């Protein structure tokens, strides 16, 4: 199958949608249930209509465009067009743009799908306004979201109020469950990491969405006077924490390239300039390709920190705050994406997705696949987020070829 | 000179004053310009009168009792009876109690001072209510405190309002300058550290009040996604900070017993569970026996942290927030205290004071000396603060003998 290799149309969509909620410097703010996202959805609806797709919005605000063709459950492809505040034009949106371009290319190439092909723009993947990430895809997957009714934005507007402003009823969210009616799900996303760019590879074929472990660590020491307490008489919880963080860094450096550990938040108590800390708490975000791998990280963290606590006379407790299972990609879809890359002359590498995506919630229900395109310097959630037009279009073509296989 | 060795009177004073603002468990709250401190001062005024001392309160609320005897500038002795919230019965108060007991013992022993001997209870050494530590002694030393007019307590009461409630006029604070009229200053205090107790020594003869250096350290890294950024591609400001703190701990352990370094406050930015910190700031409180020694600490800190910053790709800036010069003790007074201990059969060791005291402000103007008595487990600012009656009385006797020398 010959596919047009001109990125012009795709790029015009990227820049066009980027002006909606745009700051003029590449930065974009289109948060959930705002006029900016509503304008973005209107833009998307126009593209759907231009391509002859039938348009539908569900009870969660997910916006679908269906190439009604063939029969059976549709193949779903897409991502999200909401952003974080001052995010970029690629995180999420590129997956929707490439879905559109894939349909355009397949139509141009005369592809006749034997199953319907449906594009989706998920509502509120970022969750930046109401702390409700992957809202739309969770509703689509049938999650119970009733506990989110009290979520408020910075202005005190509640989520149900914001939905009502769109003509959506929070109480009717369960009607958004739609995962049972589709046959497969594909998502293209920017890598949000440096690997593809550094290795000059066109396509990342995602093998799994990693497991995410959240821990809260607390060392308990003894508060004392910074001036009168000799160094060798201290039980300093912050010194213990620093030692523990250092040791975990040394250990993690010896582990798999795909295993990650991050301390994002730290606090010392009582937090006085001249008081030896009586306690130090910090968070750990650990990621690995499977539950087994992440359990090994947890065991090591607990072991290392317990021995550090003992050495400093500052007992350590480690509390698990969350554990999100890894979501494996369907092997046949990964193979299809890899074959599509080869057919298009693109280089590809298999890699895990270190971040969660809408695919994390759809994947447990239907065969799911994901592909990455390079992110310049790995930057995302930032106006500097960038992927070259040619790299974007390579992704769209590989996506089109994979969709041709799945709907062929 | 034979001195009564019965600690009964002294102990009755310690427990008696401890009931004013007391919590029944050894804990005491008597903050500046409160009814509790006013009641404490009324108690002190009664003790002054019982000993036949002439009583005066100055414009800063410092409360003096003078044994009018001999001629020339008086020898001043004392400390403070204000406390931190839920502090103990010894920090500060014991210095006043021992001043009273020293006068009582000297009167009982028939000592005839050739210079007046004046006891002081300084106003607001702790500064817990208005963040105005060593308020009274700074006013007495002639410091310009006009900048404190805007200080407020947790209820929004301003310092001038609180002073007005005592019949004191904030504007008239300069009238409290009195340091020019005295000949010497002595202060007894609990050690607030473990050294005397651990070595089973009765008296610490203070050689100097250490220099205190305050630094604010900032590592600048690059914020990034905790899941998608490989470990070896990170510029993690918090990891750099932990490394820096660890290296400084290793170094400080090789330094003089009297050199101290404390990190009391730490914060990571942006402070997200799953975001690699773009910056990490922490404080350093460093103490050493002289400006030269503390300057050496500062040089090492700057050198170590710069090289850590370079190694992690996270440039480090170190900003000095304060430098309080060391305040040396008058050698003749230190000798007099040491001789007094020997005469009383008490063991003594020379040591620096790691904490600041009212003596820090009086010392630059007149010959000053300090002595410490043991603190159980080094605990202070806590209801568990404790010094045995016999240890307290040994301090009072040594103080009495030193005062006899200075007024003899």
Q: For residue range A339-397, what is the model confidence (pLDDT) as tens digits?
A: 999 999 999 999 999 999 999 999 999 999 999 999 999 999 999 999 999 999 999 99
B380 touches B91 (CB < 8 A): yes
Q: Do B233 and A266 touch (CB under 8 A)?
A: no
Q: Do A231 and B261 touch (CB under 8 A)?
A: yes
Q: Do A260 and B224 touch (CB under 8 A)?
A: no
Phi–psi pair at A238, nearest 5 degrees? -75, -40
Cβ-Cβ contacts under 8 Å, B378 against chain A: 224-225, 228-229, 233
A331 touches A338 (CB < 8 A): no
Residue of chain B minimizing CA distance to A194 = B229
Cβ-Cβ contacts under 8 Å, A246 against chain B: 239, 242-243, 246
Cβ-Cβ contacts under 8 Å, B271 against chain A: 264-265
Interacting residues of B234 by C-beta distance below 8 A, sequence separation 6+: B221, B222, B224, B276
Grouping H, G, I as helix, E, B as strand and the rest as coil, residue A162 is helix
How close, in Å, is residue A223 to chain B by CA atoms?
A: 9
- Give residue B8's pLDDT band: very low, low, confident or very high (50, 70, 90): very high
What percent of chain A lies above the pLDDT cut of 90? 99
Q: Do B242 and A245 touch (CB under 8 A)?
A: yes
Mutation to test the A interface, candidates B242, B252, B258, B259, most A Cβ within 10 Å: B242
- Give residue B153's pLDDT band: very low, low, confident or very high (50, 70, 90): very high
Nearest CB to B239 within list A214, A232, A249: A249
Residue of chain B minimizing CA distance to A210 = B227
Predicted confidence at residue A34, as pLDDT, reads 97
In the predicted model, what is the mean pLDDT of residues B187-211?
Answer: 97
Cβ-Cβ contacts under 8 Å, B314 against chain A: none
Interacting residues of A296 by C-beta distance below 8 A, sequence separation 6+: A288
Cβ-Cβ contacts under 8 Å, A277 against chain B: 263-264
* CA separation for the pair B28, B20 (Å, rounded): 8
Instruction: Catalogue the E-assigned strands of A18-73.
Output: 54-57, 63-67
How close, in Å, is residue B347 to chain A by CA atoms?
A: 20
How close, in Å, is residue B185 to chain A by CA atoms?
A: 22
Q: Which residues of chain A have pLDDT under 70?
A: none
B68 touches B116 (CB < 8 A): yes
Predicted confidence at residue A216, as pLDDT, reads 97
Q: Do A229 and B193 touch (CB under 8 A)?
A: yes
How close, in Å, is residue A288 to chain B by CA atoms?
A: 9
Q: Do A231 and B238 touch (CB under 8 A)?
A: no
A176 touches A169 (CB < 8 A): no
Nearest CB to B268 within list A246, A265, A381: A265
Burial of A405 (0-12, 13-18, 19+ CB in 10 A): middle
Predicted confidence at residue A276, as pLDDT, reads 96
How close, in Å, is residue A152 to chain B by CA atoms?
A: 19
Predicted confidence at residue A152, as pLDDT, reads 96
Q: Shortest CA distance to B390 belongs to which of B401, B407, B376?
A: B376
What's the distance, CA B384 to chain centroid? 18
Mutation to test the B interface, candidates A209, A261, A273, most B Cβ within 10 Å: A273
* CA separation for the pair B59, B73 (Å, rounded): 20
Token pair 């040394």: residue = A250
Nearest CB to B268 within list A264, A273, A275: A264
Predicted confidence at residue A396, as pLDDT, reads 98
Cβ-Cβ contacts under 8 Å, B261 against chain A: 231
Nearest CB to B378 within list A229, A271, A380: A229
**Phi-psi region at B89: left, alpha or beta (left = phi > 0; alpha = psi -120 to 50):** alpha
Q: Do A273 and B381 touch (CB under 8 A)?
A: no
Interacting residues of B38 by C-beta distance below 8 A, sequence separation 6+: B166
Question: Is beta strand A279-288 parallel, antiparallel or unpaired with respect to A266-269?
Answer: antiparallel
Residue of chain B minimizing CA distance to A379 = B224
In the predicted model, what is the mean pLDDT of residues B7-19?
Answer: 98
Q: Do B242 and A242 touch (CB under 8 A)?
A: yes
Residue of chain B minimizing CA distance to A216 = B273
Q: Do B195 and A262 touch (CB under 8 A)?
A: no
Q: Shortest CA distance to A80 belongs to which of A27, A11, A138?
A: A138
Q: How many Cβ pairs closer than 8 A exist between chain A and B? A: 192
Mutation to test the B interface, candidates A211, A264, A311, A384, most B Cβ within 10 Å: A264
Residue of chain B minimizing CA distance to A226 = B262
Mutation to test the A interface, candidates B189, B209, B256, B263, most A Cβ within 10 Å: B263
pTM of structure:
0.91
How close, in Å, is residue A265 to chain B by CA atoms?
A: 5
B172 touches B59 (CB < 8 A): yes
Residue of chain B minimizing CA distance to A232 = B253
Q: Do A230 and B257 touch (CB under 8 A)?
A: yes
Nearest CB to A253 within list B192, B231, B249: B231
Instruction: Classify the C-alpha dihedral B195-B199-B203-B205 as positive or negative.
Output: negative
User: What is the DSSP annotation of B151-172?
Assistant: -B-TTS-BHHHHHHHTT--GGG
């Amino acid at each position: 199958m010959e596919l047009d290799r001109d990125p012009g149309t795709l790029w015009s969509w990227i820049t066009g949608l980027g002006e909606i909620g745009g700051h003029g410097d590449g930065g974009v703010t289109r948060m959930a249930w705002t006029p900016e996202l509503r304008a973005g959805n209107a833009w998307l609806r126009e593209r759907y209509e231009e391509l002859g797709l039938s348009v539908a919005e569900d009870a969660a605000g997910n916006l679908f465009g269906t190439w009604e063709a063939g029969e059976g459950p549709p193949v779903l492809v897409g991502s999200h067009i909401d952003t974080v505040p001052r995010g970029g034009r690629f995180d999420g949106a590129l997956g929707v743009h490439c879905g559109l371009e894939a349909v355009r290319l397949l139509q141009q190439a005369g592809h006749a799908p034997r199953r319907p092909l449906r594009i989706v723009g998920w509502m509120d993947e970022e969750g930046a306004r109401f702390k409700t990430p992957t809202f739309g895809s969770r509703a689509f997957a049938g999650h119970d979201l009733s506990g989110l009714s009290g979520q408020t934005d910075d202005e005190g507007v509640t989520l149900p109020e914001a939905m009502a402003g769109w003509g959506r009823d929070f109480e009717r969210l369960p009607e958004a469950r739609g995962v049972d009616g589709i046959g497969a799900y594909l998502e293209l996303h920017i890598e949000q990491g440096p690997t593809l760019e550094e290795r000059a590879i066109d396509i990342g074929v995602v093998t799994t969405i990693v497991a995410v472990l959240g821990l809260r660590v607390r060392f308990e020491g003894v508060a004392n006077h910074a001036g009168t307490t000799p160094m060798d008489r201290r039980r300093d919880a912050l010194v213990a924490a620093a030692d523990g963080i250092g040791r975990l860094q040394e250990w993690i450096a010896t582990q798999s390239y795909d295993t990650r550990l991050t301390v994002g938040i730290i606090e010392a108590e009582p937090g006085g300039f001249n008081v030896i800390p009586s306690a130090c708490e910090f968070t750990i975000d650990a990621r690995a390709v499977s539950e087994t791998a992440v359990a090994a990280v947890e065991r090591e963290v607990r072991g290392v920190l317990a021995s550090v606590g003992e050495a400093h006379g500052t007992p350590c407790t480690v509390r698990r705050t969350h554990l999100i299972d890894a979501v494996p990609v369907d092997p046949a879809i990964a193979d299809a994406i890899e074959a599509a890359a080869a057919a298009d002359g693109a280089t590809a590498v298999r890699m895990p997705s270190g971040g969660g995506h809408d695919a994390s919630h759809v994947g447990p229900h239907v065969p799911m696949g994901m592909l990455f395109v390079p992110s310049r310097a790995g930057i995302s959630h930032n106006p500097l987020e960038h992927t070259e037009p040619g790299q974007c279009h390579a992704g769209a073509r590989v996506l089109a070829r994979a969709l041709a296989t799945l709907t062929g």
